[in-house]
C-alpha cells in the first residue's frame, strides 16, 4: 500500500510520537519503567476529588447528562463554558474580550496545528512563510505540525550561568530577524521543556516586534496563568488583539479530556471555528462540563494558586535538590525551575549524544527525553542540542527519586566519574 505525501509526513518517526508511545506504555502499568519523560500532570488528590464529585453531580442530573453526551456543541465549543471564561478573564484582567474572542480546540496540540498552518506555509501569492521560535529549545510537539516542510525557524538563545549550578536562557534580540517570510512569532511561557519563564520585558519586546511587522504573537500558556498557574517566579499575563493566547485544561488535571482554549481576535477565532467544523464537526463536551463550575465560581483561581502551584513547586524544589546531590562531581547545569513540570539538565562536554544517553537509560528502566528533539527550526550546528535531557518531576516522589538516581549513575558511568 502506498501512502500520500501527507500520510508519509505524519507517520515518520518523530519525537512527539516517541514521547507518547513511551508515556502510554509507562502509564498503562504494563512494565516497571520509571516515567520521567512525559508531560502527564500529577494525580493531585484535591483536584481529582473535585472532578470526581462534579462527574457524579452531572450523572445525577438526567437533562445535563443527556446534553453532554447526546448533543453537538457549536464549532467554537461549549457556549456556556466560553461565556464563563469571558467573565473570568474580564474579572481577573479587565481585558476587552467577548465570546467572539474564544474558541475551544480538541486539545492544545490540535490548536497549534491549526494556528501554525493558518499563519505559515504556502500562500496564494507564492510566498512561503514560517513560524519564528525566538528562543530554542522549544516544545517537542511543535516540530511535526507543519503541512509544509521547514515550517519553523529558530534562534539560539543567550545563556546565563549561576554559581549554584543553574542557568537561564534569554532571547537574543540582536540575532532575531523578522521579514516578510515570517508569518507569526511563537513562544511557550512557562517553557516546555526548560521551565523557563521569559521576562515581562522580553514578552513586551516580542509583542512590539510582532506588531511592527503586522504578524501575531502566539503565546503557549498551557502551564501559565490564570490556570493552572504552574509558575514559580514573578510574571504578568499579557494579551491584546495582536496576541494569540493558547491555554489548556490538561495541566489543570484533565489531560484525557483534550480541551484546548484559544483567545484571539475575531478573524483568528472564526477561522478556527470553521476548521473545527470541517475536521471535528463538534468538540467533546466533557472537559468544559467538568471545569464549568470551577470557572463560573472563580474557584479555578484559588485551586490553581493554593493547591496546584504549591504542589508542583515543592516537587520541583525536591527534584532539583536531589539531582544536584546525585550529580556531585559532574560538570552539569540545571535550568532555573521557574514553572511547568520539567527539569532541563545540561551536561557540557557529554561524551555521547543525549539520544544515546536516552537509549542507555531506557535499558536501565528510566524514561527521559533526549534534548535534541526540542530544537525545531534551528538550522545552525550547536553541540548544546545533544547535551541536554528533559526530566519530568510530576510523577510520585519515589518514582522521581529512583529515576534521578539512575540518571546520575548512568551519567557518571558515561563520563567515567
Q: What is the CATH number of the domain that holds 232?
A: 3.40.640.10
In 75-130, where does DSSP find H-type helix? 79-93, 108-119
For residues 162 and 248, membership in a common domain is answered with yes
For residues 235 and 342, membership in a common domain is answered with no
Residue 111: give the domain boundaries. 49-301
Last residue of one domain, picked from the residues 301, 323, 352: 301
For residues 24 and 54, membership in a common domain is answered with no
Q: What total number of domains does the chain contain?
A: 2
Which long-range CB contacts under 8 A does 159-164 form with residues at least 24 apart?
161/333, 162/336
For residues 386 and 269, membership in a common domain is answered with no
Query: For residues 389 and 47, what is the distance between their CA atoms, to the nearest angstrom?
Result: 29
For residues 366 and 295, membership in a common domain is answered with no
For residues 144 and 220, membership in a common domain is answered with yes
For residues 34 and 75, membership in a common domain is answered with no
Would you call 295 exposed, middle or buried from its count of C-beta atoms within 10 A (0-12, 13-18, 19+)? buried
Angle at 347 (CA atoms; ends 393, 223), nearest 5 degrees: 35
For residues 71 and 10, membership in a common domain is answered with no
Predicted confidence at residue 157, as pLDDT, reads 97
Query: For residues 273 and 82, what is the distance between their CA atoms, to the nearest angstrom?
Result: 13
**Distances 54 to 92, 235, 291, 305, 386 between C-alpha atoms, Å:** 24, 31, 8, 20, 45
Is 181 within 8 Å of 129 (Cβ atoms)?
Answer: yes
Predicted confidence at residue 29, as pLDDT, reads 55
Would you call 401 exposed, middle or buried from its count of C-beta atoms within 10 A (0-12, 13-18, 19+)? middle
Across the 417 residues of the chain, what is the mean pLDDT of every consecutive 10-residue run? 76 64 58 86 95 94 90 94 98 97 96 96 93 96 90 97 98 95 98 97 98 98 98 96 97 94 98 94 92 96 98 98 97 98 97 96 95 94 96 96 97 90
Question: Is the whole-model pTM more than 0.85?
Answer: yes
Distance of CA 417 to the CA centre of its chain: 35
Last residue of one domain, picked from the residues 301, 334, 360: 301
Last residue of one domain, picked from the residues 268, 301, 334: 301
Set of cell numbers at residue 13:
518517526
Is 19 within 8 Å of 36 (Cβ atoms)?
Answer: no
CA-only gyration radius of the chain, Å: 21
Residue 299 has phi, psi (to 5 degrees) of -65, -20
The CATH number of residue 330's host domain is 3.90.1150.10
For residues 291 and 311, membership in a common domain is answered with no
For residues 275 and 395, membership in a common domain is answered with no
In order, the DSSP letters of 124-161 are TTS-EEEEEESSSS--GGGTT--SSS--EEE-PPEEEE
Is 36 within 8 Å of 403 (Cβ atoms)?
Answer: yes
Distance of CA 90 to the CA centre of its chain: 24
Looking at residue 76, the DSSP 8-state letter turns out to be: T
For residues 316 and 375, membership in a common domain is answered with yes
Is 245 within 8 Å of 219 (Cβ atoms)?
Answer: yes
Set of cell numbers at residue 106:
480538541
Query: For residues 50 and 318, what is the distance between their CA atoms, to the nearest angstrom?
Result: 26
Predicted confidence at residue 173, as pLDDT, reads 97
For residues 329 and 243, membership in a common domain is answered with no
Query: For residues 73 and 70, what is the distance between their CA atoms, to the nearest angstrom?
Result: 10
Amino acid at each position: 500500500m502506498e501512502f500520500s505525501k501527507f500520510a508519509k509526513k505524519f507517520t515518520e518517526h518523530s519525537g512527539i510520537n516517541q514521547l507518547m508511545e513511551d508515556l502510554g506504555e509507562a502509564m498503562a502499568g504494563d512494565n516497571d519503567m520509571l516515567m520521567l519523560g512525559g508531560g502527564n500532570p500529577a494525580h493531585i488528590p484535591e483536584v481529582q476529588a473535585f472532578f470526581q464529585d462534579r462527574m457524579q453531580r452531572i450523572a445525577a442530573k438526567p437533562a445535563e447528562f443527556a446534553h453532554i453526551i447526546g448533543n453537538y456543541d457549536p464549532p467554537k465549543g461549549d457556549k456556556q463554558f466560553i461565556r464563563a471564561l469571558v467573565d473570568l478573564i474580564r474579572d481577573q484582567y479587565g481585558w476587552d474580550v467577548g465570546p467572539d474572542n474564544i474558541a475551544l480546540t480538541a486539545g492544545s496540540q490540535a490548536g497549534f496545528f491549526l494556528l501554525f498552518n493558518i499563519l505559515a506555509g504556502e500562500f496564494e501569492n507564492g510566498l512561503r512563510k514560517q513560524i519564528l521560535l525566538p528562543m530554542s529549545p522549544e516544545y517537542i510537539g511543535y516540530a511535526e505540525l507543519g503541512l509544509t516542510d521547514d515550517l519553523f525557524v529558530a534562534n539560539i538563545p543567550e545563556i546565563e550561568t549561576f554559581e549554584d549550578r543553574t542557568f537561564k536562557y534569554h532571547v537574543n534580540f540582536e540575532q532575531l530577524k523578522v521579514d516578510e517570510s515570517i508569518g507569526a512569532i511563537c513562544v511557550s511561557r512557562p517553557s516546555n521543556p526548560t521551565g523557563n519563564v521569559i521576562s515581562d520585558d522580553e514578552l513586551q519586546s516580542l509583542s512590539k516586534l510582532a506588531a511592527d511587522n503586522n504578524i501575531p504573537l502566539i503565546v503557549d500558556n498551557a502551564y501559565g496563568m490564570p490556570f493552572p498557574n504552574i509558575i514559580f517566579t514573578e510574571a504578568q499575563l499579557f494579551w491584546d488583539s495582536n496576541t494569540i493566547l493558547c491555554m489548556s485544561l490538561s495541566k489543570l488535571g484533565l489531560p484525557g479530556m483534550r480541551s484546548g482554549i484559544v483567545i484571539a481576535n475575531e478573524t483568528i477565532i472564526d477561522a478556527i471555528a470553521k476548521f473545527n467544523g470541517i475536521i471535528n464537526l463538534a468538540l467533546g463536551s466533557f472537559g468544559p462540563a467538568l471545569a464549568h463550575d470551577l470557572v463560573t465560581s472563580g474557584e479555578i483561581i484559588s485551586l490553581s494558586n493554593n493547591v496546584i502551584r504549591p504542589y508542583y513547586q515543592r516537587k520541583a524544589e525536591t527534584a532539583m535538590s536531589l539531582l544536584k546531590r546525585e550529580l556531585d562531581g559532574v560538570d552539569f547545569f540545571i535550568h532555573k525551575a521557574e514553572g511547568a513540570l520539567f527539569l532541563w539538565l545540561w551536561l557540557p562536554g557529554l561524551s555521547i549524544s543525549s539520544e544515546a544517553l536516552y537509549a542507555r537509560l531506557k535499558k536501565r528502566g528510566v524514561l527521559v527525553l533526549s534534548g535534541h528533539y526540542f530544537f525545531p527550526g534551528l538550522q545552525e550546528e550547536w553541540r548544546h542540542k545533544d547535551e541536554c535531557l528533559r526530566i519530568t518531576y510530576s510523577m510520585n516522589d519515589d518514582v522521581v527519586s529512583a529515576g534521578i538516581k539512575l540518571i546520575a549513575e548512568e551519567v557518571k558511568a558515561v563520563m567515567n566519574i
